[in-house]
Amino acid sequence: MAFQGASSSSSSRQWASDVFLSFRGTDTRNTFTADLHKALTQKGIITYIDDDNLRRGEEISGALLEAIDESRISIVVLSENYASSSWCLDELIRIVECKKTKQQIVLPVFYKVDPSEVRLQRKSYGKGLAKLEGRFKDDRLQKWKAALKEVADSSEWRLRKKGSASEFIKKIVQWVSRVVNRTYLNVAANPVGVETHVQEINSHLSIGKNDIRMIGIFGPGGIGKTTIAKAIYNLIAYQFEGSCFLANTRETSKQDFGLVQLQKTLLCDILGKIGSLKFGDVDRGINVIKKRLRSKRVLLILDDVDQLVQLETLAGKCDWFGLGSRIIITTRDRNLLSQHEVNSMYKVRELDHNEALQLFSWHAFKKDRPDDDYLKLTEHVIQYAGGLPLALTELGTDLYGRSVQHWKSALDRYKRIPNKNIQEKLRISYDGLGDTEKNIFLDIACFFNGCDADYVIKILDNCGFFPNNGIKVLMDKSLITIDEFNRLIMHHLLQETGRQIVQLESKEPGQRSRLWFHEDVRHVLEENTGTNKIQGILIDLPEQDLICLSFEAFEKMKKLRIFINHNACFSEEPSFLSNELRLLDWPEYSVESLPSNFHGENLVVFRMRSSCLKGIKGFQNFQNLTILDFSNCKFLRKIPDVLGIPNLKEVTLDGCTNLVEIHHFVGFLDKLIDLSLQECSNLKSSLRSFKVRFPEYLSLENCSRLKNFPPIESLMECVRSIDLRYIGIEEELPSSIGCIVGLKKLNLQGCINLMNLPSSIHQLQYLEFLLLSEGHLKDHPFGIILLGNKIPDQFSDHKGASNSNSCEININEACEIDINEPAYLDGEMGGIAFSAVFGIMDGHTEDYFDFFVDISSDGSDQLCYYIRESFKLKGDYLQVCFGFESGSVFLKNCRVRMVYRHKEETTDHMLNPQDLGVLHEDVDVHLGVPDEDIENSIDMMDGIQLTKRCHDDDDYGNLESNWYPQRKRRSSTLDIKISDKRICHLVNHSYTNQITPST
């Protein structure tokens, strides 16, 4: 049965009456209602029953309205003639209002009438309302009908015509007694945000359905799980035959016979005194619970569960309890809920900014907003607390009544010495971890918060920490999350907890396992106080500075696994580096070689940007290396043999201006996914050939002395982007370029000696982005071609119109196109296709500028180009925004085409893959440019035959494979409106590419 319950706010309210009786006097005053009133009174339940002397005229009296308002429960006796009384119906309207505004409990009792008669206003209820309709011309009739329907939908306490009235009254009195006599749990004084969670969890509970459900509530410590569970208990407990809130399950179960005590508490709360039931172990307790509760409709809340055995001994299976029962479990560990196979799970989210501001203000200022003098400081506290109710409550209480100066001092102190109460609460989850998971947690807290998850996994895996499993454990225990950008995210306060745990290892920094605080790092390196206990060092000084490194500073750190230097310079070179290093990130390393003792056999990430290294001895020993970054190493002339490094995935050598060659075995690395050689101006030889499916990304930008692109000796399915801007390649690309079958982006801008594209370019059916240079390819102007989804061969047959001489795009401005699609066009819009031709302002030939495409919409499942964001018409318009963020660039012309997919599925019109996507016949683009310029831009598409793109790893795979041509219709034109518009911001998924124009 689903009744409106009392919330936490109503539980502490002082009601004048326990029960208000609403009834039709002529039907039941001297029979059923009189007996019910007597039975309630005998049980000590304060019951209000109206006096006939109060009923005068058509309007309900103020005294009666007040009586309804001040009653905890309203019992509505719906008898045969109830709807014939305007007085009863007005009472009912007020009762329904109190249910909504005061959380009053409403109990409808159907006295020898069918609930459907009340709900649908049939039979006597229909007749009664019909009689009243002639007397009342206002909106009261509709309110009466709505109120009747609402109470009829609530539940079915129904006395049938041949039923026993005395037994029925007995059940009602028992139910009311449970509500009136039960003890409410104390919920937070200021339960900001709790109500929303309660409403959402109630949808999971589905109170009223005659099944048995287990619901899990999970989240990190201090997020408010217990507070929410208490509020739910107060709201719904009265609806069950028995209820129990088992608090502190984790702590109690640790005690001797703790689980047995929890079992006995459970039975006692639900059944009452059970002195005759004696058991001394959990197995007997399980049998008693199953035997005594299997037929009872109960509410059981197990709060703060952290072990599966607690669930197995207190609520093993749903069939332990009667139909309609609900079991709610709160925990920090989501995996426990999965293991116990709960019916549904609910994750408690952090408070949003407004909720956090309100909660903090109630504790810090005893009102819902801060004082004006504290506004900025309050924002700092809220940012520090990160939406965690525990932290907001503790910090607000700590700062209440304090001066502005005290607040500033306290905020500085929190950064070094976190609040003790917060830390103790948050540390509980850490203490429950295994040793391996603890190491992972501390490494993330000290070094890797916000880093790419795959990157961190590579390092930790080589440390023997089994991170794939360990990170899942941390996620299950709500200690970390992985965001939509695949970054490991740890709440700021949990990060502080981890770092505090490390600081407590020793008062002496050199005796701790991890160093990150700049003063501690400087002390250890300059005073040579490091020890064998140090596993990781992060150097992040307040500003770039010199550290007077002791020559022997690293010699005692033989277990050093991680060394990250963000911004320190060193006065000396190290004489020793640990061979336990997995991550070595040391920019501006000042000597030509690494210490002779360093063999690098465990190294996974090797970053030495802008260093003075000339070479690496024993490079073949670096067998575990996956990431190599020697960007801007000006003294590096060649990369040694990499054949013995099979796991290498990323090689970055940008800005190595003296690099002459790279070892040809780089082209044979099976796992290489990223190879970047930008600005290697002296590189004369790249690779003899590529024989593997990788890399996904290859950049040779500004390798001006590089004369050839290596031939491709096998199909390369995973390559997505090749950047060949301003390389010295002569005449044409190798015909084997067609073997890069997965290529999406190819940039050839600035290739001054490149004369033609090989015919094999037509095989690149997934190509989306092709950039070419003015005058560098035969018969092609300077321009940019954006190859969208399903662009047909017929694209070059259509020309845009022009009105004026130019469309100039200044900095932070763009050209906006609104496409008005005629309503009579049939078929489903599948995408748009466009090309743009731009020019360079005089005197700006060497500038860099950004090209961007911004497709904005109000949401659809359609696909547009390579941008992973949906679009659809805004009313009659689709908005496409593109341009250049530079005053040196202007658009000459552009082409925009609509792509349609016909809705009718008929094989008669099915296209071959090469013919996919047909555009509307006529599109006018008014950019004010000569027709010949537009013809030049369109000619760039000639001979490029595109097929349908298939995507295995993105959101495009849900498109249907069969596309149909747009059928012939009466002649029409799509209106395309062009206007200059200042860009406020670009959407997250906009593609931005930096372009360097040639002279």
Going by C-alpha positions, the residue among 201, 434, 438, 475 that lies closest to residue 330 is: 201
804 CB-contact burial (10 Å; exposed 0-12 / middle 13-18 / buried 19+) = exposed
H runs (alpha helix) in 341-487: 353-364, 375-385, 389-399, 404-416, 420-431, 435-443, 453-462, 467-476
- The DSSP 8-state label assigned to residue 71 in this structure reads E
Of residues 91, 350, 394, 701, which has the active-site annotation?
A: 91
Contact 513, 536 (CB under 8 A): yes
DSSP 861-924: S--BTTB-S----BTTEEEEEEEESSTTEEEEEEEEEEEEE-SS--GGGPPPGGG--EE-S-EE
The answer to whether 581 and 561 have CB atoms below 8 angstroms apart is yes
Burial of 591 per CB tally in 10 Å (0-12, 13-18, 19+): middle
Torsion sign across C-alpha atoms 90, 92, 96, 99: positive
DSSP per residue, 156-174: -EEE-TTS-HHHHHHHHHH
Contact 941, 892 (CB under 8 A): no
Task: In whole angstroms, give the CA distance from residue 278 to residue 226.
Answer: 30
8-state DSSP, 83 = G
Q: Are 689 and 712 in contact (CB under 8 A)?
A: yes
At 785, give phi and psi (nearest 5°): -115, 125
Of 704, 996, 679, the closest CA to residue 844 belongs to 996
Cα Rg of the chain (Å, integer): 37
Q: What is the DSSP letter of 678?
A: T
Instruction: With CA atoms as reference, report the closest residue to 104 among 11, 192, 189, 194.
Output: 11
Alpha carbons 176 and 40: distance in angstroms, whole number: 8
- Are the C-beta atoms of residues 477 and 433 closer than 8 Å to each other? yes
Contacts of 137 (CB under 8 A, 6+ apart): none
The SS3 call for residue 839 is strand
- ω into residue 191 within 30 of 0, thus cis? no
Burial class (CB in 10 A: 0-12, 13-18, 19+), 832: buried
**C-alpha to C-alpha distance for 112 and 33, rounded to whole angstroms:** 13
Helix (H, G, I), strand (E, B) or coil at 837: strand
**Both structure tokens of 583:** 């991550």
Residue with tokens 């260093």: 611
Rounded to whole angstroms, how far apart are CA atoms 92 and 95? 5
Query: DSSP string spanning 530-581?
Result: --TT--EEEE--SS-EEE---TTTTTT-TT--EEEESSEEESS--S---TT-
3-state class of 105 per DSSP?
strand
Quick check: is 91 catalytic?
yes
Nearest in space to 426 (alpha carbons), one of 221, 217, 251, 227: 221
The residue behind tokens 């990223």 is: 674
Which one-letter amino acid corresponds to residue 195? Answer: E
Distance in angstroms (rounded) separating the CA atoms of residues 68 and 102:
11
Phi, psi of 804 (to 5 degrees): -130, -165
Nearest to 244 by CA among 312, 202, 299: 299
* Type of residue numbered 642: V
Residues recognised as catalytic: 91
